[in-house]
Structure 1
Amino acid sequence: MASLTISDLHKSFGSVEVLKGIDLEAQSGEFIALVGPSGCGKSTLLAMIAGLESVTSGEIRIGDRLVNSVAPKDRDIAMVFQSYALYPTMTVEENMRFGMESRGIPKAEQKEAIERVSALLQIGALMRRKPGQLSGGQRQRVAMGRALVRDPLLFLFDEPLSNLDAKLRVDMRTEIKKLHHRVGKTTVYVTHDQIEAMTLASRIAVMDRGEVQQFDEPETIYNRPVNMFVAGFMGSPSMNFLPSEIAVDAGKPVVAFTNNGETAKLPIVGDQHADLRPGQKVMFGVRPEHFALHRGDEDRVVGELSAEVEVVEPTGAETMATLRVGDQEVTARFQPDAAPREGQIARLAVDMAKISLFDAETEQLV
């Protein structure tokens, strides 16, 4: 195993700067996810780690070795692509063997590696089939198997589940996590799906417009996003934002905003917002699961809010609702037996210990 260190990495195509000073470090055996919208630079970064794109400036190190000018074949990495990239005229076994033959690995070692990896991925029964005879999930297992037989220092995944249907994507996500637990290799995984990133990675780099907005553990990124972009991108449905102002009520700081012609005042709790000042313009962020129907016996610090219920969407395990707060729509998540009805004016409890406040101008967490 080996660590991966990226220092002040820049990439330009002509006058267009695609990556703007990336700093990342994956510890040996760690699973890192690169996540962000299309065009944010995550696939370009992965290609540079693989050696498929040149470095404009900065450094990439695998272990202690600077690899900026090292050819892809000499970096001791293995890459799994979105398109599987299997040779259609070769059997599964031939696809897995091809790379080892190219590197002159003895046949006995090839056989041992193929048997070990096919057992690990449970594809032993597929060895004589060709890719056209396999399902999408089976092809992805073979693509991973072809990477695993190399026993590389570093695994790179480029949106490997994007071509699979929803159920198979969940199943394969679980398989990838199990696989990482078994082999323990340093892994960099690119995805636009923030659920994949949250469930798979030990740390996540959230990227936007060629920069890393936040690099941290999934729980920290979800609960303490550093800015509105991260808060809105991570989470499904995304965080709700209400334009607000800091005020004082009965000597205590509150978040104030207009709701149905009246001023709603919700208490600010905890020490993380100690630097707020009265009159400061903020965006009040609250995740859908931090709403509940107000019962009057809540055992946590809450704010109370009234909202018209516009749409209710049962999904089985939970019920989603779209509500109107002033001139803003918000989304709330409820347990099915504790959900409001369409057309109702619901009294909502807001868990104020879980909210986020962002500066209205800079959009940074305050």
Structure 2
Amino acid sequence: MSALMIRDLHKSYGGLEILAGINLEARTGEFVALVGPSGCGKSTLLAMIAGLETVTSGEIWIGDRLVNSVQPKDRDIAMVFQSYALYPTMTVRQNITFGMESRGVPKAEQAEAVKRVAALLQIEQLLNRKPGQLSGGQRQRVAMGRALVRDPKLFLFDEPLSNLDAKLRVDMRTEIKKLHHRVGKTTVYVTHDQVEAMTLASRIAVMNQGSVQQFDTPKRIYDRPTNMFVAGFMGSPAMNFIPARLTGSTSISVRAADGSDATLALAAPLPTGAPKDVVLGVRPEHIYRFTADLKSRKPAVQPLQAPVELVEPTGAETLAVLRLGDLEITGRFEPDDAPVMGETITLGIDMSRACLFDPATRALL
């Protein structure tokens, strides 16, 4: 059964359309991430699910109930905000129980809920402190605790980690994933950080300009992006886009560093009617230093000459900016096999992992 169903959802402010026909489903216990650039509509969509924004047209179902006109307090949801929204004059315990107090939950039941949630989030020692005495990560745990005591059908997270520093963000990301596995509640999580989406979600909705570009598993979105926007947005560094031209049913040509055309064999024939001009999409980690051993291990690897413009060591890997004709592309190399700035190397492009796009529609071929 679906815990959340969104059907042909539209949102407009006057003549400005913010969401244009959104269709999404979250299965019971699933973790769905909404990801996209600022202004794409993801936070507006979350607010509409929560009941904080009205629906222009379309339907929102939570479980078996249409909730378009249902007040936020009656939707059986819990929301964790970017700003934590804790009461500064209340203790952690009082912040967690505030909603239960408002609903008239008996004291004994409140105490049991606080005990359970505090143990789950490992904040037992913080219950008598006030928010000003807590770190950012501790405040975020308290905000999650306030949501967890409700035992709702649906958890909504609105960029909850964006105010944290880089290390704490990684730590809290791990905690949220562990929490989801323990609690098993359906979760919708908004983020602009594609790494957060990839690591946390069972399925990702990639949004742009008010519409869902692709809704699929992290692996499918990364390996087979439905269009060039998804391909360029998901992945860091981004996918390389290389202009190419079909030279046969199973080959393309690209412009090499010396201005000549280099032919690359495709791993599989393109469908009938494919355009002559295409865009070759290659992830940085699918670019190697070409060797005979590499060719024996990866038969689909195709060689290509390229000078090295820049080298960026990052510790676990080394990024190299390489030139193809007038184009710069990025490769990701093992530190011990990294190229040196100024040298010309023979690249090995793994064509079995490459994507081809139509430059007119920007869609995957």
Shorter chain as normaliser: what TM range? over 0.9
Partner residue, 1:292: 288
CA distance in 2 between counterparts of 1:5 and 1:282 reads 37
Q: Which residue of 1 aligns with 2:345?
A: 346
**CA shift at 1:148, angstroms?**
0.3
**Residue 320 of structure 1 corresponds to which residue in structure 2?**
319
The answer as to whether partners of 1:2 and 1:186 remain within 8 angstroms in 2 is no
Asked if the contact 1:4/1:61 (under 8 Å) is kept, the reply is yes
Q: Structure 1: which 5+ runs fail to align? A: none
User: In structure 2, what residue type is equivalent to 1:284?
Assistant: L
Contact 2:250 2:268 in 1 (8 A): no
1:193 maps to what in 2? 193
Distance 2:80 2:219 in 1: 27
The equivalent of 1:329 in structure 2 is: 328
Offset of 1:253 from its aligned partner? 2.2
What is the CA deviation profile of residues 269-304 of structure 1, one whole-angstrom value per residue up to 9, with x for unaligned ones? 135x33365x61111100000000011222221111
AA aligned opposite 2:356: L
- Distance across 1 between alignment mates of 2:104 and 2:16: 41
Q: Provide, for residues 239-281 of structure 1, a one-character-per-residue CA deviation record: whole Å limited to 9, x for no partner.
A: 0001111113xxx62121222211011111135x33365x611
Which one of the candidate residues 249, 253, 257 is aligned to 1:256?
Answer: 253
Structure 2 residue ranges without an equivalent (≥5) = none
SS at match of 1:3: strand
Distance 1:2 1:265, change over 3 A: closer
**Structure 2 counterpart of 1:274:** 271
Alignment match, 1:363:
362
- Mapped to 2, the partners of 1:291 and 1:261 lie a distance apart of 20
Cα shift at 1:181:
0.2
8 Å Cα contact 1:318/1:336 also seen in 2: yes
Matches of 2:263 and 2:280 in 1, distance apart?
12
Aligned to 1:156: 156
TM-score (norm 1): 0.97
Query: Structure 1: how far apart are the matches of 2:219 and 2:149?
Result: 33
SS in structure 2 at match of 1:105: coil
Question: Does the aligned pair in 1 maintain the 2:2–2:25 contact within 8 Å?
Answer: no
SS in structure 2 of the partner of residue 9 of structure 1: strand
Q: Which residue does 2:65 correspond to in 1?
A: 65
TM-score by length of 2: 0.97
What is the alpha-carbon distance in structure 2 between the residues aligned to residue 361 and residue 26 of structure 1?
A: 33
Aligned twin of 2:22: 22
Structure 1 moving runs of 4+ over 6 Å: none
Name the % identity: 69
The verdict on how the C-alpha distance between 1:20 and 1:284 changes in structure 2, with shifts beyond 3 A counting, is same
Which amino acid letter does the alignment assign opposite residue 318 of structure 1?
E
Over aligned residue pairs, what C-alpha RMSD do you find? 1.1
Aligned residue type for 1:314: P
